[in-house]
Chains A and B, each alone.
Chain A
Amino acid sequence: MTNYTHLPFNFKGLQDDNYLVSNLAGQHQHLSKLDFENLVHSKYDQIKHKSLDSLESKHFIAPKNEAKMRESIITSKLALRIQSSLIRPTLFMVVPTLRCDHDCHYCQVSRVTENKKGYDLEEKHIAGILDHIEFLSDKHIKIEFQGGEPLLNFNFIRNFFDTAKIKLKGKHIEFVIATALGPINNEMLEWIELNNIHLSVSFDGPEHIHSNNRPSKKFNSYENTVDNIRLIKKHFKGIDVSLLSTITKQSLKHPKQIVDSYLELGTKNLFIRPLSPYGFATDTWGALGYSANEFMSFYKELIAYIQELPQDIIEHSALFHLNRIFSQATSYVDLKSPAGIVFGAMCFDYNGNIFGSDESRMLWTSTKADELIIGHISDEPKNTYTKPNLIALLRDTFVEVNPGCNDCVYSQFCGADPVHHLATQGDLIGHKARSFFCQIETQMFDFIFSEYYLNNQTRKMFDGWLSNGS
């Protein structure tokens, strides 16, 4: 028997006496309780052969005379994973206006009413924003117009688009408008289709949920959204529309109806997101919010229902997690270490403030906490991104060493969310035991790993998503 030694790892018990181990090389392994105990007690000769081989291949154990070489592999991998998180931002959010024609109870950006003055981004700032984007970005970027309802300042979008095409010539830009489709008309749609712009539409499911979560004084918001999506699918086939759902307490009992409502619109790509504690949602949390447990029982029902259906449906929130687990992807800003603030996303707010994430501007809008502001559009780009505010936001976001994360089996796949913890606990790290983010992510990873390793049918579906949907 080879003379083995073990290398550092984190662990956690999953359901039914199963264990998961993970290490700083970004690898994980599922073990039976017996194998796990033998590993912990260094009884290597009693570990099942298949598990032993796998543990060795993934640097959980090593023959004693390979230990030094294996340690250098693990540390290099850790360095590589951190380095590949230190990327230039690829997502640039621009807020043409904070005005909105919806009155969503959970509005996380604290929108203002449709006619209020002083909440539009002025066109004179376009050049400045593009200077910042040019300074920060690589060749492939996404520019997303956020609101409020960005279509209420459609002229700004058009001018921004035209100027960007000239000024950022040579870059591959994907343009997205995040909209509830209230002000949309044929002229806009023709322009959107012509310029290959994507639409990202909030859609919370059946009428009694959607209209309840996202009421409007002007129209029946469910009918408006659904009619417009149908219109686009029928007459503007070139427009790529993706839907995303924010889950509220009202949604929790209706996972099947939410899936059905996507299918009724001919969409097999679901994106399910839990509520975030920003903006109006902080005040309405009692009425709309829920515990992580409640969310996860809803989410598990939804995934189980997807499996019953004959259609090949993909739920993208799970897919982001799967990609993070299996290819250590760093493209999802919520699951990054260090955090995706600037290293992933940027947000140019209606008033010219620059933020490192959408959540930062959400929190600033409701608290006016100026330490969240990285700079202003009129600042010289080269002097903007080395200031203390940004460094302070990022400094404590290496989850590998965050208290509560350093010994978590999921720390290799999870991310830091400093703004969430600032919003909910008043400090950038937060106590993980009280963190909604941590509770949701932990349970999400529990679910995904358990399903992947203990349920063959789900594993097949997840593998299918990984090979087609990523």
Chain B
Amino acid sequence: MGGYQMDLERANDLRFESTNAPDGLYVVSKSSEYEPHAEFLLPSIYPEKTTIKDAFEVNCKEFNETFTKGDIISVSNNRKKILGVLSNNAKQNTLLVTERCDNLCSFCSQPPNNNPDTHLYINAAYSIINFNTESVIGITGGEPLLDKEKFLTFLDILNKAGNTTPLHILTNGRSFSDLDFCNEVVKKASNRDILWGIPLHGHNHELHDKCVSMPGAFVETMQGLMNLSYAGQKIELRTVVTKDNYKNLKNISELANSSFPYIFTHAIMNLEPKGWAKRNFNELYISVVKQMPYISDCVKNNNLKSLKSMLFNYPLCQTPFDLRDHYYKSISDWKNYYPAFCNKCKVKNDCGGFFASSVGDYLNVIKVEVEV
């Protein structure tokens, strides 16, 4: 079962010896005390023999080191694998609800397809309800709001179960250009804290539409941002920095500041060489050294307007000192990489390093840049 993502300290994908559980989602239970959620319950799965009615058992070597009580896992009998879906050990849990998308960003790390997605929305809702955490869970796609009905149903299911888990939802915001839909979502979102991560890659339709390879996207995203921000929702603006837009970062910040009542944060993100970003790397990647003066202009302008900037996916050594307040060690441990020259570095522990998702040319570029 693909599509779930977790930032785990260690592998969350285990091979099992045997199980009596059919394919599907389960709540990890480790003692007979476990009481499942009254409504919308998922079946329990135990790493030992159990006599509890309707519960399943699995025989798996590293189960106890990997999963804790209350985690949500998925069982695949074909591959004889257990996959962690939501884990208490994870620093950040993220659920994918669709792979469909109406933008075609040249730097997409998870290129879209037309696969069926109803089960993904339902599974995500059930996982969140059964996990029942007050820590933030990320919702990603595809474009989670492309199918408006499914997204509203997703919120309905959560609300009906009385769930209040805070969500960080990544969306291109275009669906919010429909004011009725926006108001509907805002109404259904009222009993939880939601941070909407919405990309703005250009300060006009020419640039933004080029980045997302979709004519008309800019105007819809801007209208969506308007509707959502005036409805008082919390918005994280996201800009992926490429050769196309790095000189316009300050203009993007200016546009946001002159257009919306309140933006919670502005995330400025270096390319993750994965998916299409890897394929288009040479056309897209602009050296971090060249980005930094423009990032600095953008951050200064944000500071002046009291908008908080956050830098994601950058090596610390290439981040100037006056920007380090905005630095986030964002590349998770399981997908980062420190080239050999990092070993002498005094700030290695504070640094996210580099994405391990690419080798060869990409790392050569980085290596030259850092050593020079």
Contacts and interface: CB of A to CB of B under 8 A. Distances in A.
B255 A57 contact: yes
Given A57-B252, A76-B230, A77-B258, A2 B206 contact: yes
Contacts of B205: 63, 65-66
B10 interface: no
24 contacts: A27-B258, A53-B203, A53-B251, A54-B251, A54-B254, A56-B251, A57-B252, A57-B255, A57-B258, A58-B258, A59-B258, A63-B204, A65-B205, A65-B219, A66-B205, A66-B219, A69-B219, A73-B258, A73-B259, A77-B259, A77-B261, A80-B230, A326-B304, A326-B305
A263 to B, nearest CB: 28
Interface in A161-191: none
Interface string B248-266: 1001101100110100000
A63 B203 CA distance: 11
B286 interface: no
A25 B305 CA distance: 14
B223 interface: yes
A467 interface: yes
Interface residues of B, number: 22
Interface in A35-66: 53-54, 56-59, 62-63, 65-66
B306 interface: yes
Nearest to A2: B206
Nearest to B225: A73
A466 interface: yes
Interface residues of A, number: 25
Contacts of A57: 203, 251-252, 254-255, 258
A430 to B, nearest CB: 31
Contacts of B304: 326-327, 463, 466
A72 interface: yes
Specify which of B230, B258, B304 lies most central, judged by the most chain A CB atoms within 10 Å of its CB. B258
Contacts of B204: 2, 56, 62-63, 66
B250 to A, nearest CB: 8
B303 interface: yes
Interface string B191-230: 0000000000001111000000000001100110010001
A54 B258 CA distance: 11
Interface string B46-86: 00000000000000000000000000000000000000000
A463 B204 CA distance: 28
A69 B217 CA distance: 13
A418 interface: no
Specify which of A26, A57, A63, A466 lies most central, judged by the most chain B CB atoms within 10 Å of its CB. A57
The 6 closest A-B pairs by CB, nearest first: A57-B254, A57-B255, A57-B251, A27-B258, A57-B203, A53-B251
Given A58-B258, A327-B306, 10 more contacts: A26-B258, A53-B248, A53-B251, A54-B251, A56-B204, A57-B255, A58-B254, A73-B226, A77-B259, A327-B305
A25 B256 CA distance: 12
